[in-house]
Structure 1
Amino acid sequence: MDQPVPHTVQSLRSDLRALGVRSGDVVLFHSSTRSLGFVVGGTQAMVQALLDVIGPEGTVVVPTHTPDNSDPAGWRNPPVPEEWWPAIREQTPGFDPSRTPSRWMGVMAETVRTWPGALRSDHPRLSFAALGAHAADITGTHQLDDALGERSPLGAVYRLDGKVLLLGCGHDSNTSLHLAEWRQKSPPRGVTGASIRQPDGTSRWTTWTDVMEKEDDFEQLGAAFEAAVGPSIGQVGGATTRLMSQRALVDFATAWMAVHRPVV
């Protein structure tokens, strides 16, 4: 039996172009590295291929969230004893865009975050990193109490008419759907908190009120979007990959949520 040919920067570039990624694109990138198969050069090669295709006028954006920097009272997977909560709030090192690694976002997001020239927004729980021509515009203003709304990197990608690239992952990882949540007439809000690094190097626990994220219907929403609009679907390396207009996605999701999510 013939052995499969390994994927390379050159073959990944061809796959991305065939899918519809173009020079100058702003691409919000979500990925499952394992789905790619064997890539010569690993995640570095995948990021390089994407940067080559979008070129110097393009921008790649990734979520670099830190969900562990949050109020332990809300932790469920797993929960921690209530008597630990004060120590966690008081002793968690404050978020610093240049120091704090992302958590559970995958090695591809970390590769972009640490790539030379990458910029990162300063939200202590829901930051994004960007690399390319529009990186400063996307990451420069990230409102603490508008984490995934208009004044977030998601809102900036929408204004730039960016694209969403889901490489080997589904709509449950499609962060842009949260922008539709923030656009609902009366989305549920709650108090949240995180530790933030201060200019003098100390850490301070900070609380604020924002929209509460909800993701349990994202796969259903994504299936409805695909049936109605139809993203570009193809193979990038070994991964089934979806490419779609973020504006089309968010506009569809905003209307869908208004119908399918009851107002509380």
Structure 2
Amino acid sequence: MKNFIELGVKPGMILEVHASLSSFGYVIGGAQTVVDALIDVVGYSGTILMPMHCSNNTEPTFWVNPPVEMGLAETIRENTPAFHKKESESVCMGDIAENLRRRDGAVISNHPNSAYVAWGKYAKLLCNRHSLHFSLSEESPTARLYELKGYVLLLGVGFDNCTALHLAEYRSDCRPILLQGAAVEIEGRRVWKKYLDIDVNSDEFVLVELELKEKGAIRDMKIGNSDVKLFRADVAIDEMVRCFEARSKYEIYR
């Protein structure tokens, strides 16, 4: 708890958190200890937001790591369970996000593969309106975080894990549009629902870290073995938009 305070985390702060528990080394109490510390610092007057993405509930022909076996795509579409806020598996989000998900008062946004979980004063405001189409754009928890001038806290992960920065991809119009899909429940019936989104790619997010460091817009320190960073979400997103617009390789899509 004192480490987060030293970094600059304050009561009432709105935080999008991305975390690797293993990056700290041994933590007594594991993920529960980390989430307890975050809650103790920001308090209920603040809000903690974490991605709870279910990437196995997406259009299988886009899978690359690993790619889907030839001929299995339709079988996957027909048999993937419909998204459920409490039961669907999040993929590669980690134990800390899963711990927050189980907390009393946690609110989960209703997107089949790009959901967020939030706890605190603005949890409902952040999560209650999450558009199926263009999942991390203007009708998403990401955009609400921007409007509320929230912060991003990276615990042992890099900028390529920062979900908030995807908003810059939509705002800079630098990615091609594609037809996505996911299993959802509509009127008690499981269906495969198609929707529009962009081909998001976080590889270039490292560029904004260099820009923010030059401007002194990142606070960082070590907690255990973990490299920890804190910065304003809106400042980083605006800077990322400028980076994309200055060096876009996707002019054909404009």
1:107 corresponds to which residue? Answer: 95
Instruction: Select between 76-85 and 158-167 the one with higher mean Cα deviation.
Output: 76-85
Q: Is the 8 A contact 2:174 2:244 kept in 1?
A: no
Instruction: Please tell me whether residue 159 in structure 1 is matched to residue 143 in structure 2.
Output: no
The CA distance in 2 between the partners of 1:227 and 1:190, in whole Å, is 35
2:17 corresponds to which residue? Answer: 29
Instruction: Select between 101-110 and 131-140 the one with higher mean Cα deviation.
Output: 101-110
The CA distance in 1 between the partners of 2:38 and 2:7, in whole Å, is 12
1:238 corresponds to which residue? Answer: 225
The CA distance in 2 between the partners of 1:243 and 1:221, in whole Å, is 13
Normalised by the length of structure 1, the TM-score is 0.91
The CA distance in 2 between the partners of 1:219 and 1:111, in whole Å, is 28
Give SS of 1:208's match: strand
The CA distance in 2 between the partners of 1:155 and 1:227, in whole Å, is 25
* Shift of residue 120, structure 1, vs aligned partner: 0.5
Normalised by the length of structure 2, the TM-score is 0.95
Give SS of 1:83's match: coil
1:211 corresponds to which residue? Answer: 198
The CA distance in 1 between the partners of 2:115 and 2:92, in whole Å, is 13
The CA distance in 1 between the partners of 2:102 and 2:160, in whole Å, is 25
* Shift of residue 256, structure 1, vs aligned partner: 1.1
Q: Is the 8 A contact 1:117 1:131 kept in 2?
A: yes
Instruction: Please tell me whether residue 139 in structure 1 is matched to residue 124 in structure 2.
Output: no
2:116 corresponds to which residue? Answer: 128
RMSD: 1.3
2:107 pairs with one of 110, 119, 128 = 119
* Percent of residue pairs bearing the same amino acid type: 33
- Per-residue displacement from partner, 1:101-127 (whole Å, max 9, x unpaired)? 211111111111121111100111111
The CA distance in 1 between the partners of 2:112 and 2:31, in whole Å, is 25
Instruction: Please tell me whether residue 96 in structure 1 is matched to residue 95 in structure 2.
Output: no
Judged with a 3 Å threshold, the aligned counterparts in structure 2 of structure 1 residues 199 and 225 are, in CA distance, closer, same or farther, namely same
Instruction: Select between 127-136 and 223-232 the one with higher mean Cα deviation.
Output: 223-232
Q: Is the 8 A contact 1:73 1:82 kept in 2?
A: no
The CA distance in 2 between the partners of 1:186 and 1:152, in whole Å, is 19
2:181 pairs with one of 193, 209, 213 = 193
Judged with a 3 Å threshold, the aligned counterparts in structure 2 of structure 1 residues 53 and 253 are, in CA distance, closer, same or farther, namely same
2:30 corresponds to which residue? Answer: 42
Structure 1 runs of 4+ with >6 Å offset: none
* Shift of residue 239, structure 1, vs aligned partner: 1.3
Partner amino acid, structure 1, of 2:122: H
Alignment of 1:242-257 (within 5 A): 242-257=229-244
2:161 pairs with one of 173, 176, 183 = 173
How many residue pairs end up in the alignment? Answer: 251
* Shift of residue 186, structure 1, vs aligned partner: 5.6
Judged with a 3 Å threshold, the aligned counterparts in structure 2 of structure 1 residues 229 and 250 are, in CA distance, closer, same or farther, namely farther
The CA distance in 1 between the partners of 2:145 and 2:217, in whole Å, is 20
